[in-house]
Amino acid sequence: MKLLVLLPNRLTLSSRSLLVLSSVKIDKNMIGDTSEIDNDVQLVLELSKGDPFLGKKKRILEVMGFDPEGSMSIRSSFTPDQLTSFLDMMIQRARIINLDEVELYFSEDAIDLGGFTGLRNELEALDSILKVIDKALSSGKYATINVLQNLRDVTLDRIHELGKRIGEETRILRDSNSDNEKCLLEWGVKNGVKTKLDIAHVEGAGRGAIAREDIEVGDIALEIPLSVIISEDLLHESDMFPVLEQIDGISAETMLLLWSMKEKHNQDSKYKLYFDTLPEEFNTGLSFGVDAVMALDGTLLLEEIVQAKEHLRIQYDELFPALCDCHPDVFPRELYTWEQFLWACELWYSNSMKVMFSDGKLRTCLIPVAGFLNHSMCPHIMHYGRIDSTTNSLKFPLSRPCNAGEQCFLSYGNFSSSHLVTFYGFFTQGDNPHDVIPLDIDVPQDEDCEDGGAACEWNTHMVRGTWFSKNHAIFNYGLPRPLLNHLRGARTPTWESNTQTRENLEIELEVLGDLCSTFEGMMEALGEATLDDRGTPQWDVKLALEFKALQRRIFSSILTSCYTGRKLLELELHKHTV
């Protein structure tokens, strides 16, 4: 049996760019006047060699006038204004380095217009700059160079300013002084957990973690010792391990999932207090009922949920009832029903984290206390997931400040609403820039792309709400440039530049015409927005309707952009005929 339960990737380490500090250079040749002999500190914001978009990012950096491999020199004689300009340049560079696929796909007009591509990317860029400065300072080589400390201060100021723009409001419904959560926290502390966070019930998200005090950038909000983490190491002590290890191809994740199904009923479990805090129902897309699934008709989420559920059902059927029949003492039938299996899948999808252990192995874990942290697109905690081998613990450091009484958020990953609904059962506050709609477009084969060309830039295409774009002018329309270039290139391989020739304008009209008919069809497939007249809808139907409304809003923005674009083009064409 080959078993692989898909688990979401919440590790944020792998996508991190490498930040390297090179050694101090005193380059007299750079300084004309020897009286200004100066200590240069070279700060290197380096592209990760493993970045799948390395080539594209290098090209953008070059277009922006940066040497992709080069360093940036900071001088001890910098005035405050020079320091600000230096930081601005570093930020521009760090933004590009830290773009993810979606941001990169949609970023080109933002880069042309000044560089800010979104709050998440901005926070990531500032965080990466701070890390490189801290590394320089902690190396001890630059103790006398105040300018680095000044650069750190202005970077922190920027992070504070950004935090004020994010403003994610949390209404605390009640704290958890007498609850299971409090017992778990006390148990955690007795077992070595260090926390600056309390647990409370928050509006719209169950429990959440609230800052007890003002927590600054770089402070550790939460530290969980390895001994408290639920990982595959526990399996080896369990009576089910000898049975499970005989199953060909079973993953450690699946074994752990089966272990948790039984352990949650074990009154003597070391993790009893943890299991006591878990909800009876997770309410993710995986538990959507028939009405909710039907309400999703015309959306890709319907397919995503149905496929995910089918995948889990196949896995369940491969294991059960066989395991209960053959090992009834180890796998009691009443604990291994389909409903309980689905509950455990939802637990692991919505609450697990991938952690890099000191042996270099990535393990999927449940992490008591840390499991109360809710997700945000602009979180306080962005980088976690590696065991600190000196303390043997997992640390959750802050990338932006969190004031006392505020909810402290984590990043689960750069997920779209469809992923969050399917595996976590919620939507983020505010518009999610990762809400993209993938397009099934024939892309040219490699051999057709030897000479490059507009159609060959990307081999997957997507759209998102055009309200995210700042550029709705002719040749842009708020639509992604790679998609437009692809459609142009497919019509005329010789498309080179966006000049307003009659031929180009006519091609543009055709491109927008095609997009209109595609999205009119997709809008029609969603059906009419109807009000459910059966009273307050169930939680799942509510989520499904919200998702459908979001799809409608996205399609509608694209159609508006296409119609407006066509009007602009017709006006320009008219000028050519008179």
Ligand X SMILES: C[S@@+](CC[C@H](N)C(=O)[O-])C[C@H]1O[C@@H](n2cnc3c(N)ncnc32)[C@H](O)[C@@H]1O
> Which residues lie near ligand X (CB under 6 A)?
204-208, 350-351, 371-372, 374-376, 424-426, 428
To ligand X, the closest distance from the beta carbon of 419 in angstroms equals: 12
Minimum distance, C-beta of residue 462 to ligand X, in the bound complex (Å): 23
Task: Please report, for residues 22, 58, 466, 533, the alpha-carbon distance to residue 296 in angstroms, rounded to integers and kept in the order given.
Answer: 53, 41, 22, 17
Q: Which helix (DSSP H) or strand (DSSP E) does residue 90 occupy?
A: helix 80-97
**Cβ atoms 427, 539 nearer than 8 A:** no
Instruction: Cite the DSSP H helix spans in 178-251.
Output: 180-190, 241-244
Contact 410, 396 (CB under 8 A): yes
Q: CB neighbours (10 Å) of residue 165?
A: 9
Residue 387 beta carbon to ligand X: minimum distance, rounded to whole angstroms? 19
- Minimum CB separation from ligand X for residue 361, in Å? 23
- Among 201, 152, 344, 366, which Cα is nearest to 274's? 366
Query: In which residue are the tokens 């926290």 written?
Result: 185
Residue 378 CB, shortest distance to ligand X, in Å, is 11
What count of other Cβ atoms lies within 10 Å of the Cβ of residue 75? 17
Rounded CA separation 365/261 (Å): 15
Q: Which is nearer to ligand X, 137 or 222 (CB)?
A: 222
Q: Which residue has the tokens 């984290």?
A: 353
If the CB atoms of residues 424 and 475 are measured against ligand X, the closer one turns out to be 424
User: Of 90 and 398, which has the nearer Cβ to ligand X?
Assistant: 398
**Cis omega (within 30 of 0) for bond into 225:** no
Least distance to ligand X, CB of residue 425, Å: 5
Q: Which residue lies nearest ligand X, judged by its C-beta?
A: 206
Closer by beta carbon to ligand X, 230 or else 463: 230
Q: Which residues are registered as beta bridge partners of 195?
A: 222
Give the E-state strand segments of 212-359 in sequence order. Answer: 220-225, 352-356
Between 75 and 201, CB nearer to ligand X: 201
Residue positions counted in the chain: 578
Nearer to ligand X, 8 or 68 (CB): 8
Query: Closest by alpha carbon to 422, among 337, 306, 318?
Result: 306
Q: Which is nearer to ligand X, 399 or 428 (CB)?
A: 428
Neighbours of 430 (CB within 10 A): 13
Would you say 426 or 467 has its CB closer to ligand X?
Answer: 426
CB of 209 to ligand X, least distance (A): 8
E strand intervals along 170-315? 172-175, 194-195, 197-202, 206-211, 220-225
Min separation Cβ 350 and ligand X, Å: 4
Partners of 45 in beta bridges: 19
Residue 175 C-beta: closest distance to ligand X, Å: 14
Nearer to ligand X, 428 or 466 (CB): 428
Report in angstroms how near the CB of residue 398 gets to ligand X at its nearest: 17
Q: Which phi and psi (to 5°) does residue 278 adopt? A: -80, 145
Query: Which amino acid type is present at position 225?
Result: P
| C-alpha 362, offset from chain centre | 18
Tokens 């919505």 sit at which residue? 350
Q: What is the spatial order of strands in the sheet that 197-202 belongs to?
A: 172-175, 197-202, 206-211
Judged by beta carbon, residue 10 or residue 16, the one nearer ligand X is 10
Q: Report in angstroms how near the CB of residue 214 gets to ligand X at its nearest.
A: 22
φ and ψ at residue 241, rounded to 5 degrees = -60, -45
Helix (H, G, I), strand (E, B) or coil at 331: coil
Q: Which is nearer to ligand X, 375 or 488 (CB)?
A: 375
In eight-state DSSP terms, residue 465 is -
For ligand X, the closer of residues 279 and 332 by Cβ is 279
Residue found by looking up tokens 């450690």 in the block: 252
Q: Identify whether the C-beta of residue 359 lies closer than 8 Å to the C-beta of residue 341.
A: no
Q: How far is the CB of 104 from ligand X (least distance, A)?
A: 25
Task: Name the residue nearer to ligand X (CB basis): 110 or 378.
Answer: 378
Smallest gap from residue 430 Cβ to ligand X (A) = 10
